[in-house]
Amino acid sequence: MLFDTHAHMDDRAFDDDRGELLSHLPEAGIGLLMNPGCSLDSSRAACALARKYDYIYAAVGSHPDAAAEVNPQVLEEYRALVRENPKVKAIGEIGLDYHYEDVPREIQKEAFRAQMALAAELDLPVIVHEREAHCDGMAIVREFPTVTGVFHCYSGSPDMAKELVSLGWYIGFTGVLTFKNARKALEVAASLPLDRIVLETDCPYMSPEPFRGKRNDPGKLYRMAQALAALRGLSEEDVQRLTLENGRRLYRI
């Protein structure tokens, strides 16, 4: 049984076959699934999916691309979604993305800090999206010593991962683990303590080999488990068990 710790099932890429796909995932080996929000609208959709399907859990938050929407009223909406639904287990995804910079860095940082503070207030873990913003991301993490969670689709250095682990964080790996040229991600995944690694599809993006370029979905998570098993010299069963336990510990499920 696998835990997809980061899947955007509310994405419009699934509009044509979402119900069909979600009703068959448990028999395809997906025992648990975390659907993070990317915006207020997407957070509401994630909560609705968590109500409908036993194995789905939700997180609420505004992604760096939606950082401009974050204001006291939106934060109050997130508080209400957490209060109303015990299956909301995290704040996310939140963070910094300096790759495209559609949203100015200062606005991203402000939204990230406000949502880290919300997680501290509600005593929830966070799901962090951090791309090409390693220094600023770590600086904000250090400002909130009581908040931990997961750095999803990890793209930092082995040293940064080591620091995160020492602070109590988890590291999430996607289909990148199956890419031949993924030297950096493999180096990190090879060096981390086994109780700090979680697996995710980040679907509909980041399809693993041999599905690269196609729409990703949680049914392809077994490929990440196979890649991690080969890398760490473990059986696939052990990887499934370990990463499932890690995901449950991370999200307190």
Give residues 155-214 in contact with Ni ion (rule: CB under 5 A): 202
> Residues 61-90: x/- map of binding to Ni ion (CB under 5 A)?
------------------------------
Distances (CA, A) of 173 to 182, 196, 218: 11, 11, 13
**Minimum distance, C-beta of residue 12 to Ni ion, in the bound complex (Å):** 14
**Minimum distance, C-beta of residue 127 to Ni ion, in the bound complex (Å):** 8
What is the three-class DSSP state of 28? helix
Are the C-beta atoms of residues 60 and 33 closer than 8 Å to each other? no
Q: Which is nearer to Ni ion, 81 or 203 (CB)?
A: 203
Q: Which is nearer to Ni ion, 66 or 124 (CB)?
A: 66
Give the binding-site size for Ni ion (rule: CB under 5 A): 1
Q: Which is nearer to Ni ion, 178 or 201 (CB)?
A: 201
Q: Which is nearer to Ni ion, 4 or 202 (CB)?
A: 202
Distance from C-alpha of 216 to C-alpha of 96, rounded to nearest angstrom: 23
Cα 246–Cα 247–Cα 248 angle in degrees, nearest 5: 90
| E strand intervals along the chain | 2-4, 30-35, 56-60, 88-97, 126-131, 149-151, 170-173, 197-199
Q: Which is nearer to Ni ion, 130 or 202 (CB)?
A: 202
Q: At how many degrees (to 10) do helices 40-52 and 72-84 cross?
A: 0
**Minimum distance, C-beta of residue 169 to Ni ion, in the bound complex (Å):** 17
Distance from C-alpha of 159 to C-alpha of 110, rounded to nearest angstrom: 26
**Minimum distance, C-beta of residue 38 to Ni ion, in the bound complex (Å):** 7
**Minimum distance, C-beta of residue 136 to Ni ion, in the bound complex (Å):** 19
Q: Which is nearer to Ni ion, 6 or 196 (CB)?
A: 6
**Minimum distance, C-beta of residue 92 to Ni ion, in the bound complex (Å):** 8
Give residue 173's identity as a one-letter amino acid code: F
Provide the binding-site residues for Ni ion, judged by CB under 5 A.
202
